[in-house]
Amino acid sequence: MLDRVLRFFITLFMAIAGAALLNLATPLLTSFISTEILKADMGLFKLTFAGLVCILLGAVIGGIVGFILSAYFIRQLKRFAAWVEVQLNKMPIHDVIAGVVGLFLGLIIANLLGYAFSKIPVVGEYIPVIFSIVFGYLGITLTIRKRKDLAGLFDFIQKFMKAVARNPETSAAAKGKQPVAPEGGQQANYKLLDTSVIIDGRIADICDTGFIEGTLLIPVFVLEELQHIADSSDALKRTRGRRGLDILQRIRQGTRCKVEVTNVDFDDITEVDSKLVRLGQQVSGKIITNDFNLNKVAQLRGVEVLNINELANAVKPVVIPGETMEVTLVKSGKEQGQGVAYLDDGTMIVVEGGQRFMNETIAVEVTSALQTAAGRMIFAKPKN
């Protein structure tokens, strides 16, 4: 259906163009064939018989040419539309919006200037077209390049909206979208959970003891990352992701801690850890994690961190030498003959002489455990 509509308009356009072009040849025709019939006035738009013949002939020729070439033009239009769609899909949505706004402003300026120059003889009619092309292009490129600078001019609006959203008395709609201060006017004592500490699972045991005060705040982008891990094609990642979701459900239903889920997200940031640090700055909360790198980055940016691994250093280790457990060897270790296994929480177990049991589930005896701020590592040997 679309092809038929396009073919009709292309044929119509070519017919009109052919009629207009051949109409210019009317004086030439009358100069070669000087008869009274051709010069006769038809009484319609001051057309002579020769002019009418030229217009009709030009329309027929242009229509035929347009109908023949319409298939080629339609293919080129579709190819151009597909190219534009691909380019737009590559661009971030904020760049697209900035480009549209810049084009709109550029065309307004071009229209104002074009009207002022349109009275110039001969070239005045073409100046508005040139201005529209030039200022439209400049508007698009400048707004995209200077998008952040232009957005900075309206920071006061964002700050005002945040202040309103944090006040439950002035904006009931802000509830559930952004963490707000509790009644009494004081900032809530938020503890932000990252993906690694949820998968680790020890946070649930800590919550059961009642040692954590305040509210556990779980951002929606952390939940999305957990879901992505749980849907992974890798069996180990899938197990860790599902374990994290189970731990999270346990924390929400069976612990003493109050849990909130916030829909706050930062579209200008792609990394989940960076989003978590930004959210911690906004709500003046503390991040609970066992990620060594996140720990350092958050501290550098002024966000307090509660590291589960550092807490584990201050209490008894999870495993003790002589304890036995069953593990599945999944890969070779760095040293010859070593095998490596992982617990559900991602803890690495290095088994001496375990390489010969690759992809098997065996009983091992713990020989030592190493606990640092970067994580936990268990050394074991096959149990005889």
Is 80 exceeded by the pLDDT of residue 349? yes
Contact between 272 and 195 (Cβ < 8 Å)? yes
Mean pLDDT: which of 72-86, 110-124, 270-284 is highest?
270-284
Calpha distance 46→33 (Å, rounded): 20
Based on the fold, state whether residues 124 and 64 are members of the same structural domain: no
Based on the fold, state whether residues 301 and 345 are members of the same structural domain: no
For residue 340, name the pLDDT band (cuts at 50, 70, 90): very high
Based on the fold, state whether residues 294 and 329 are members of the same structural domain: no
Instruction: Give a yes or no: residue 279 inside a domain.
Output: yes
Calpha distance 342→186 (Å, rounded): 43
Contact between 150 and 116 (Cβ < 8 Å)? no
Instruction: Give a yes or no: residue 118 inside a domain.
Output: yes
Contact between 344 and 240 (Cβ < 8 Å)? yes
Based on the fold, state whether residues 197 and 306 are members of the same structural domain: yes
Residue of 153 and 288 predicted with greater confidence: 288
Domain with residue 308: its CATH number is 3.40.50.1010
pLDDT at 77: 84
Instruction: Give a yes or no: residue 162 inside a domain.
Output: no
pTM above 0.75, yes or no: no
How many structural domains is the chain composed of?
A: 4
Based on the fold, state whether residues 284 and 339 are members of the same structural domain: no
3-state secondary structure 290-330: CCHHHHHHHHHCCCCEEEHHHHHHCCCCCCCCCCEEEEEEE
For residue 177, name the pLDDT band (cuts at 50, 70, 90): very low
* DSSP-derived secondary structure for 165-234: HT-TTT-GGGTTTS--PPTTSPPP-EEEEPHHHHHH-HHHHHHHHT---SEEEEEHHHHHHHHHHHT-SS
Based on the fold, state whether residues 122 and 209 are members of the same structural domain: no
Domain with residue 340: its CATH number is 2.40.50
Q: Which domain holds residue 145?
A: 91-153
Based on the fold, state whether residues 1 and 85 are members of the same structural domain: yes
